[in-house]
Amino acid sequence: MSPRPRRGSLTTVLAVVVALAALALPSAAGAAGALRTELNEIESEVMCPVCGTLLELAESPQATREKAFIEKLVKQGRSKDEIKEALVAQYGDAVLAEPKGSGFSLSAYVVPIVAFVVAAVLLALAVWRWRRATASKDAQEPEVDGPSDEDRERLDADLARYDL
């Protein structure tokens, strides 16, 4: 005959299983919710092709139609990338708020960085040349020792006249 399990240990195991299941349920629900795309997530990443502003700020009739188009795709369960691809197919590349990472669009990222680096180098060069010019001027100017002995005696005599 096998030993009979104690009632307390079975209850403990059951409690642990229930606790683990309770912890797993919210994370599973959160993961399912995280996969679902919403309109406000996409509005900040796409533009209104007519206004040229972010879709979340645009209020034109075209922006309203674009939002309805996105809502329809969201209800179909499409991912963010799929919705963006559909928007590009419908409205063209100008609908994306971020330029593509190749070709002429790459210049939107590269030009500001290059301009900043060039400006920093030119500023450093200008400061270096200015400091060098100031140092050479200081080296060329003669040092002044102060008044001569004759001037010191005359100043002392003038001051003595005013002493009471």
Rama region for 146: left / alpha / beta (φ>0; ψ in -120 to 50; rest): left
Question: Are residue 70 and residue 87 in the same domain, yes or no?
Answer: yes
* pLDDT: which is higher, 20 or 3: 20
Mean pLDDT score across all residues of the chain: 79
47 is a domain residue:
yes
Q: What is the average per-residue pLDDT within 42-60?
A: 84
Q: Quote the pTM value.
A: 0.43
51 is a domain residue:
yes
Terminal-residue alpha carbon distance, the chain: 129
Domains held by the chain: number: 2
Residue 18 has pLDDT above 80, yes or no: no
Closest CA to 80 of 90, 89, 70: 70
Question: Are residue 86 and residue 44 in the same domain, yes or no?
Answer: yes
pLDDT at 93: 79
Helix locations, 6-148, DSSP H: 7-35, 39-43, 61-75, 80-91, 107-140
Amino acid (one-letter) located at 164: L
* pLDDT: which is higher, 82 or 137: 82
pLDDT at 135: 77
Using CA atoms, how far apart are residues 55 and 85, in angstroms rounded to an integer?
A: 16
Q: Which two tokens stand for residue 35?
A: 């996969």
pLDDT at 32: 43
Residue 103 has pLDDT above 70, yes or no: no
Residue 54 has pLDDT above 80, yes or no: yes
Question: Are residue 118 and residue 77 in the same domain, yes or no?
Answer: no
pLDDT (tens digit per residue) in 106-135: 777 788 999 999 999 999 999 999 998 887
Output the 3-class SS for 48-79: CCCCCCECCCCCCHHHHHHHHHHHHHHHCCCC
Question: Are residue 62 and residue 44 in the same domain, yes or no?
Answer: yes
Contact present, 35 and 81 (Cβ < 8 Å): no
* pLDDT: which is higher, 15 or 99: 15
Contacts of 62 (CB under 8 A, 6+ apart): 48, 49, 50, 51
pLDDT at 114: 94
Percentage of the chain exceeding pLDDT 70: 74
Beta-bridged to residue 46, according to DSSP, are 96
Question: Are residue 71 and residue 46 in the same domain, yes or no?
Answer: yes
* pLDDT: which is higher, 121 or 95: 121
17 is a domain residue:
no
Expressed as residue numbers, the domain containing 109 is 102-135
Percentage of the chain exceeding pLDDT 90: 17
18 is a domain residue:
no
Using CA atoms, how far apart are residues 57 and 41, in angstroms rounded to an integer?
A: 13
Contact present, 99 and 108 (Cβ < 8 Å): yes
Residue 26 has pLDDT above 60, yes or no: no
